[in-house]
Amino acid sequence: MSQFAKNLLLWIIVAMVLMSIFQHYAETEPPAQEMMYSEFLDAVRNGRIESVEIQATSGGKRLTGQTTNGQAFEVFAPPDDQGLIADLENNDVDHRAVPPEGRSILVDIMISLLPVLLLVFLFVYFMRQMQGGMGGRGGAMSFGKSRAKLQGEDQVKITFADVAGVEEAKDEVVELVEFLKNPGKFQRLGGNIPKGVLMVGPPGTGKTLLARAIAGEAQVPFFSISGSDFVEMFVGVGASRVRDMFETAKKHAPCIIFIDELDAVGRHRGAGLGGGHDEREQTLNQLLVEMDGFEGHEGIIMIAATNRPDVLDPALLRPGRFDRQVVVPLPDLKGREQILGVHMKKIPVDESVDARVIARGTPGFSGADLANLVNEAALFAAREDCKAVTQEHFDRAKDKIMMGAERKSMVMSEDDKRLTAYHEAGHAIVGRIVPEHDPVYKVTIIPRGRALGVTMFLPEEDKYSLNKTQIESQLASLFGGRVAEELIYGKAKVTTGASNDIERATAIARNMVSKWGLSDVLGPLSYDENEDEVFLGRSVTQHKNVSDETHRLIDKEVRKIIDGAYTRAREILTEYDQQLHLMADALMQYETIDARQIDQIMDGNEPDPPAGWDDKPPRSPGPDDSGDAAEASGSPATGET
């Protein structure tokens, strides 16, 4: 119930109480007996009426009085009866006239004040609505107020036990909890806790969750706001909200202020082609001033999160403001296992499920990705009315996330399916033969996502860098699909299915030459052009750092690398021609094969049926759905870098 409704209900209750008191203390009279006028005249003439009071009304006369036996009566007489007074006097009846009934003074006062009170009420109501009061979320007069959401110390239930996979980051912020609980421990030795902590990391790694866990562990109020909530179309509104937020936070100290997506308001100043005094810069300036204005002993800690630290203004990152940066990276194998353990506690999991096996098969997954994986597995189990989530459900959920959902409604012709089978078999065989390549995890010709077929590679362990051999092996496997089409169907029948492979291979080869220094001709130099955008606060003009002659050398080297990878893929598939046909036939029969079956094919043997196959036929062929999806086919592993 809103505050306005509560106030209205209170006034109604007060009015009802007052009315009951007035009625209780009002004078009470004995009930009067109603009498017909003819009966009254007969009683007057017979001497049964002792006294009468005559009161004029709008419709006649109201007669009240007593009979000779003390009974009160009430009679309504017509207004034009002129003989009534004569009858009363002739029969010796005491009579007197009383003035018409008037309204009470209280009623008169209320009626006279009612229009004024109504106008005052409407004025107050609309003013409070404009200021965001009376249950409103905000109004025209409240745009300068802070949009930060306050959670009390008893409302934040998240603790460090709910955050897994970021142990180093948790170690960095543990002392913040100790400072909020016992600030005297640090001030006694003259130390000051950092005023601001900037959490940096890819999306979904748990930066916001970690900030909430700090407040939950310290049991302090938690103010949360997004960087975009500061900026409005009116200049000065964001600065006003920053001031209001810090003033409110000081009243609740010790507390935590958390700004998510700090780059929305903290980008480099001086960006853009116009003047520098726009709304965002005014807001950033006020934020810098406020962070300088409060001291560490006030018990306010500013925590911000961003995945774009490169675009932040340097003034934000200097000591005294955000003077500590906490990196929240993607979790490693152990971290992924811990995160899966946290999320698996929320669902019934079968005893056969091994979190470590799932963690090994999900390299590069963030905490949010793993939470989504567990949720998808639970949904698969719910669709089948299972009592617990099994390992098979997790495997299907992983395939859906990494390769896309199966497009079961899409019907392909037999020729298109066989071409896709050779394409994916080419990727798998080349990736299996070249050195230091990620192992082949699964090959399928079931349309998933935007692809007609997928070859999935999964690394055996987490990788943080690639050497030249690994990159060249990736290039060869990328061209395996196109080379397989060319060897089987001829150059005239090569399809557009390798468009994504060619795009990725070209980007990798160009990076080898111009960015990574892996070209013997051009050496370890960076030949990247200045690609800084205007909104980053960099120069508008593009500076040419590379001569035309060097550009020609770069293009020549890129072409040399691509031609070498293409030739290498052709040599491998020519040598393993038997395995190429075996794998394509297996894909046509089973539609999906795994690493065990691929090993059997590479040994020159027919692969065993998949587990639970039971000789079920593949999906019935039909006319091809459309030609657009063919451009996305043949994309190798989602797990590749």
Q: Mind telling me the catalytic residues? A: 424
The answer to whether 269 and 224 have CB atoms below 8 angstroms apart is no
The answer to whether 221 and 184 have CB atoms below 8 angstroms apart is no
CB atoms within 10 A of CB 451: 27
Angle, CA of 276, 282 and 284, to the nearest 5°: 105
Integer CA distances (angstroms), 270 to 166, 308, 482, 538, in order? 35, 18, 48, 8
DSSP string for residues in 6-50: HHHHHHHHHHHHHHHHHHHHS---PPPEE--HHHHHHHHHTT-EE
Q: What is the largest CA-CA distance in the chain?
A: 144
Q: How far apart are CA 248 and CA 222, in angstroms?
A: 12
Q: How far apart are CA 548 and CA 405, in angstroms?
A: 46
Asked whether the CA dihedral 445, 449, 451, 455 is positive or negative, the reply is: negative
Residue indicated by tokens 């007489």? 77
Q: How far apart are CA 595 and CA 405, in angstroms?
A: 21
Query: 435 preceded by cis ω (within 30°)?
Result: no
Paired with 305 in beta bridges are 199
> Which CB contacts under 8 angstroms, 24+ apart, belong to 606-609?
606/582, 607/582
- Residue 64 — φ and ψ, nearest 5°? -130, 150
The bridge status of strand 592-594 relative to strand 440-444 is antiparallel
Look up residue 237 and give its amino acid: V
The answer to whether 200 and 324 have CB atoms below 8 angstroms apart is no
Order of strands across the sheet that contains 196-200: 149-151, 222-226, 255-260, 300-306, 196-200, 324-327
DSSP string for residues in 324-348: EEEE-----HHHHHHHHHHHHTTS-
Integer CA distances (angstroms), 225 to 183, 229, 265, 315, in order? 25, 7, 12, 21
Closest CA to 248 of 155, 153, 138, 146: 146
